[in-house]
Amino acid sequence: SSTVAPLLQGMVRALLVLVGFSALFALASAQCALGDHPNCANWVRNGFCQNQFYSKTMLQQYCPKACANSGCGGGNAAATTAAPAAAKVENKNCDKWNKDPAIAFCAAMEKEQKEAFCFTTCAKELAPTDGCTLYVNKAGTVTTLSDPGAAAPVAVATGATAADPILHVYVKDGCTLQFQDATPGNVGAVKNGAAPNFFPITETVEKEAPNFLCTCP
């Protein structure tokens, strides 16, 4: 009996370990979608799998097969299959992502990503009606300033400063956006409305421009 007891204890421990691993595998598998979103191949090419703003849960939900780091055994975008149709649910972090100046989701991300993850929060960007829109960092929160545009536009104050800079702009097809200084005089390059229509602002003179003109036919 002194020999049998240790053997039984070893078998029990082995079974417990096996059960634990099985439960863990089942839990991990339950988080993985059955297939990839139809746009995964394009998203992967644009860095979706490595983007720090997308959680592992998002990779598992939208591109489990295309993303090697999803934990779902993926990594082959060419062999992915579309997941069964399901009711679209916006990601719970959309509002936070959109207001964060470091992300400015609705201004910075591609149309496909807005449609897939934040279609409600980014509704205005998916179907814009204004001629020009500025995305400004106001005390750590992204705010928008829009103008319908006109053939003979009037300068609009941006409220931008070094501490509260302009981050992105949207310019409608056929329209142009021109920043102005306090003189007023034109500064920076003219932004012409054409795809992709959303432009990051990187030049200091533009980021801090006090006025802008939105010209539309």
User: Which pLDDT does position 16 carry in this prediction?
Assistant: 42
User: Which pLDDT does position 76 carry in this prediction?
Assistant: 61
pTM reported for the whole predicted model: 0.64
Q: Which domains does the chain have, with CATH numbers?
A: 19-86 (no CATH), 90-127 (no CATH), 128-215 (2.60.20.10)
User: Which pLDDT does position 28 carry in this prediction?
Assistant: 42
User: Which pLDDT does position 150 carry in this prediction?
Assistant: 98
User: Which pLDDT does position 34 carry in this prediction?
Assistant: 82
Largest CA distance in the chain: 99
User: Which pLDDT does position 12 carry in this prediction?
Assistant: 39
User: Which pLDDT does position 46 carry in this prediction?
Assistant: 79
Q: Return averaged pLDDT per consecutive 10 residues of the chain, 217 residues in all.
A: 48 44 43 85 85 85 90 66 61 96 96 94 97 98 98 97 98 98 93 96 97 98
Cβ neighbors of 40 (< 8 A, separation 6 or more) are 48, 62, 63, 65, 66, 77, 80
